[in-house]
Amino acid sequence: MARPPTPVGAHGAITRVKLKGGSWSARTYVRDHDGERRLISRRGATGAAAERELKKALAERTAPARTELGPATRLREVAERWFTDVQAEVQAGEKSPNTARLYRGYLDRHIIPGIGALRLSEATVPRLDEFITSVSAHSGVGAAKACRSTLSGVMGYAARRGAVPTNPVRDIGRVRGSGSRVKARSLTVAECARWLEQLEADDAAVRRDLPDLTRWFLATGVRIGEAIAVGWDTIDLDQAVVEIDYKIIRVTGRGLLRVRRTKSDAGHRTLPLPLFAVRMLERRHSDSGGIGPLFPDARGGWRDPSNLSRELREARGSGEFGWVTSHVFRKTCATILDEGDLSARQIADQLGHAKVSMTQDNYLGRRLTSRRTATTLDAAIGDALHR
């Protein structure tokens, strides 16, 4: 029977050889992490001294940067190591701080308390499927999907380090909702006009800049974090375009951040502006001098997206517009462009979607979108929104 190979990272028997002159050499073969077998030797005044030097060299050569993961490693330990890598990606600008914050929340609230004590060998497809199903039943479909995504990252980390043969999360069942997906509702042109009338008659809404923010949402279809991250430095009034390159996020311990990163690469885009938006910008430019945020807070700084969402809820009341959120304006913009016979690709570019299917599935942008988007918005709601 053939002799089994030396395990990767291990070495064979150490032999001592007395050299001419009285010194000693200790040597052995080690199987390196590339699979090759190499002879390693060290010298010393005595055989024992040479062997000590050799063992020291072997320890430095074969010791991994971290304790190796294996089937007996607890899932909670793997989760912490994976999250350390996530934090490094945030520091490198490869992931959003908000993404790391969400991962941390799902680890702490669901995954570590629920299955953190499992060993990797026990994290089987049936067991993980049962866990995700339980999260869905007790915390909702959204939490279950987020936990599945987070857990997939953790187990993928373990698989890449050889602790499990494959990522078991890939084989668990789909997280299903209780019914068919309800698409976001959009405002009609008449509702847009009535909504603005309601805001203009509300002193608190006017003081909070909600009428002009509504005009901006409808003119661009941007996300709430993108809308309040627009500064005068990203607006070209002569060309009637705006660069969407930033978003505002809140990071625990750091406060509000304006980060040069949108939800996807497709989020970086240049949008043409309809005439009603240009007129609004000209008016605001004369008031502000064209410096700082387009929609500043009371102190002239960047607005908090959570505070803006709360202010919109307070302004809408519980009557006719009790269902309105900032996302409704995004949906309304997409609907108007769709009814204006723009292609799904043009509308996706306007909204900053990388995939047309996202636009088609949930709302019905190339970086400089078609001028037809601005023309269509002007023709549909320009008169209703102009001030």
Q: Kindly provide the b/e burial profile for residues 238-248, where b requires at least 16 CB atoms within 10 angstroms of the residue's own CB.
A: eebbbbbbbbb
Which one is predicted more confidently, 385 or 177? 385
pLDDT of residue 62: 55
- Residue 367: is its pLDDT beyond 50? no
Name the token pair of 191.
Answer: 């509702």
Taking residues 57-65, report their average pLDDT: 67
pLDDT of residue 387: 67
Residue from 298, 327, 295 nearest 229 by CA: 295
Which residue bears the tokens 């299917």?
Answer: 357
Burial class of residue 327 (count of CB atoms within 10 Å of its CB; 0-12, 13-18, 19+):
middle
pLDDT digits (tens, 9 = 90+) for 118-155: 999 999 999 999 999 999 999 999 999 999 999 999 99
Q: How far apart are CA 65 and CA 322, in angstroms?
A: 56
Average confidence score pLDDT of the chain: 87
pLDDT digits (tens, 9 = 90+) for 323-360: 998 899 999 999 999 888 888 888 888 888 878 777 77
Comparing 48-62, 98-112, 250-264, the range with the smallest average pLDDT is: 250-264
Phi, psi dihedral angles at 312 (to 5 degrees): -65, -40
CA dihedral 377, 380, 381, 382 (to 10 degrees): 70
Question: Strand locations in 207-267, DSSP E?
Answer: 235-236, 241-244, 247-251, 255-259
Q: How far apart are CA 292 and CA 232, in angstroms?
A: 6
- Residue 297: is its pLDDT beyond 70? yes
Hey, what amino acid is at 387? R
Name the token pair of 73.
Answer: 């490693």
Hey, what amino acid is at 153? G
pLDDT of residue 84: 93
pLDDT level of residue 31 (50, 70, 90 thresholds): confident
pTM > 0.85: no
